[in-house]
Structure 1
């Protein structure tokens, strides 16, 4: 019998992933990662719900304490990023270093199982021509989560299954209700687990970063107001600036050296190019010549045409056909060719 370890967060998606694989004849073992204390879906409440699902499905449930790994790779990573004036994207970092890699290692070394599965909405396909595992968008464009998975390696893709990639969220809910799963009608998590646990990103960051008052200035350096810490701001932000102006103003740059937040109109927030570091090439091998593709610079942003110029040290330059608003240092730029995710990396500051 085929065996698989399913990562269970306590939500409906991971619950249905486990039930689907069990229905397909797999011997399923549920695994929940203990990331941190708090009310987040992946923490205390989630562990209880995951245990209930395993009991309902009649499968083994294991919990692995990975709080130290989460602290080092996510919390410390976030805090240092915000202190440096960038807006880190924790989810892709978490998927590779905290979830998939430790889960697959635990499955192989402790349980003798070579495959893991999650409730992510994405697809994996092996391409014989390139001898690579390709990462594809989910069938449901509203739920596609491939953007957050760009940092997965070939080894991790080879050992992973995404049972929900070929269905819609509505179909997931319907299957959960047909099986009377205890999580069938559980509300969907809308925020990062850190936000769920602390109430807001600002409250989380204020716990770790001391507030230092500084100036909010326009592009000419004129002081328009005061801020209580650059970590409260992100590129493209309009609301919550606390300043009055004749036209809408947005955060266009954060200066950690001078402790300043720089604002301008929407046109000033457009960028025609950026440099991306820590590139992870997924569905294709690392390119040494320029290519054209599409890029998403945020999870909910629309893919736009881009010219990709390879640099050294896993870096590329992206040149957009038209200026893009809200290109944010610390966030991910993910390259696509239609439904195929080519690779991605982290947007560098100017």
Structure 2
């Protein structure tokens, strides 16, 4: 019997993934990562529900304490980034550093298993011509999570199964109900667990960063208002600035060194290109010449035509066919060829 470790968060997606594989004849071992200190749905109620699902399926369940790793690689990473005036995206880093990497290592070293599965909506294909694993969008484009998975290495893709990649979310809930899973009607969790456990990103950051009053200024340096910390703002933000102006103003720069929030009109926050660092080439090897692709500069953004120009030191320059609004340092840019993830990285400037 084939053995597989299934990452269980206690939600309907991971529960259904485990049930599907169990029904297919796999020897399933449920594994829950304890990520956050204190209370939080994914780490209190979630662990209980994960254990209950394993009991329902008649499979073993293990919990691995990853709180210190999560604190260092995600919480500290976020706090440092926001305090420096960028808007970090923790999910892709969490997937590679906190979840998939440690899960594969634990499965191999402790459980004698070389395969893991999760409830993510994405697909993996092996291309025999290029001898490379490809990461593809999920069939359900509304639930597709390939954007958050761009940083997975070939080794991690080779060890991973996504049982829900070919399902619509409605199918997932239907299958969960057919199996009688407790989580079949469980509400959707938010994309960011830290927001879910703290109520808002602002509330989370306020636990770590003290208020620091400074000026909101326009591009000429004229003071328009006051703020209580640059970490409360993000590029492209329009609402909540607390300033009056004859035309809509947007955050165009966060100057953490001088503790200033700089605002301007919409044209000032629309750019024709950007630089991306920490690039991971996924479905193809790194090209030596520019390529054409479609890029998403945030999770829910529409894919836009782009020229990807490789640079040195795992960096690229993205030149958009049409200038893009609110390009935000710290967020991920992920470029595709149709449904295939070609690569991605962190927006630098």
| TM-score interval, smaller chain | over 0.9
Query: Per-residue CA shift, 1:86-133, capped at 9, x if unaligned?
Result: 000000000000000000000000000000000000000000111000
User: Is 1:160 matched up with 2:169?
Assistant: no
Counterpart-to-counterpart distance in 2, 1:191 and 1:243: 30
Residue 106 (structure 1) aligns with? 106
TM-aligned CA deviation for residue 249 of structure 1: 1.4
Q: Match for residue 60 of structure 1?
A: 60
Per-residue deviation, 1:297: 0.2
TM-score, structure 2 length as denominator? 0.99
The residue matched to 1:170 in structure 2 has which SS?
A: helix
Counterparts in 2 of 1:315-334, with a 5 A limit? 315-334=315-334
Equivalent residue for 2:241?
241
What's the counterpart of residue 337 of structure 1?
A: 337
Query: 1:198-217, aligned counterparts within 5 Å?
Result: 198-217=198-217
Kept in 2: contact 1:33–1:42 (CA 8 A): no
- The 5 A counterparts of 1:55-94 are 55-94=55-94
SS of alignment partner, residue 277 of structure 1:
strand
Contact 1:88 1:331 (C-alpha < 8 Å) held by counterparts: yes
Who is 1:185 aligned against?
185
| Cα offset, 1:246, TM superposition | 1.4
Which consecutive residues of structure 1, in runs of 5 or more, have no partner in the other structure? none
Residues 233-281 of structure 1 deviation map (CA, whole Å, 9 limit, x = unaligned): 0111111111111122111111111111111122221011100000000
1:275-317 deviations in Å (ceiling 9; x for gaps): 0000000000011111111100000000001111111100001
3-state DSSP of counterpart to 1:208: coil
Give me the whole-angstrom Cα distance separating, in 1, the residues matched to 2:100 and 2:41: 18
CA drift of 1:39 comes to 3.9
Q: Distance in 2 between matches of 1:176 and 1:266?
A: 46
How far, CA to CA, are the matches of 1:195 and 1:141 in structure 2? 23
Quote how far apart the aligned CAs of 1:191 are: 4.2
Q: Alignment partner of 2:308: what SS?
A: strand
Q: Kindly provide the CA deviation profile for residues 191-238 of structure 1, in whole angstroms up to 9, marking residues without a partner as x.
A: 411111112111111111122111111122111110000000011111
Contact 1:293 1:308 in 2 (8 A): yes
Give me the whole-angstrom Cα distance separating, in 2, the residues matched to 1:39 and 1:158: 34
1:274 aligned partner: 274
Q: What is the rounded CA distance, in whole Å, between the counterparts of 2:140 and 2:38 in structure 1?
A: 31
- Asked if the contact 1:11–1:41 (Cα under 8 Å) also holds between the matched residues in 2, the reply is no
Residue 298 of structure 1: SS of its match in structure 2?
coil
- Whether the 8 Å CA contact 1:9–1:41 is kept in 2: the answer is no
| SS of residue in 2 equivalent to 1:292 | strand
Q: Quick one: distance in 1 between partners of 2:171 and 2:203?
A: 36
C-alpha deviation, 1:345, in angstroms: 0.2
Partner of 2:207, secondary structure, is helix
Task: Look up the SS of the partner of 1:190 in the other structure.
Answer: coil
Aligned to 2:50: 50
Question: Deviation digits for residues 30-86 of structure 1, max 9, x if unmatched?
Answer: 000000134433211110110111111111000000111101100110011001100
Residue 135 of structure 1 corresponds to: 135
Deviates more, 1:89-98 or 1:207-216: 207-216
Once the two structures are TM-superposed, the CA of residue 21 in structure 1 deviates from its matched residue by: 0.5
What's the C-alpha RMSD, in Å, of the aligned pairs? 0.8
3-state secondary structure, aligned to 2:312: coil
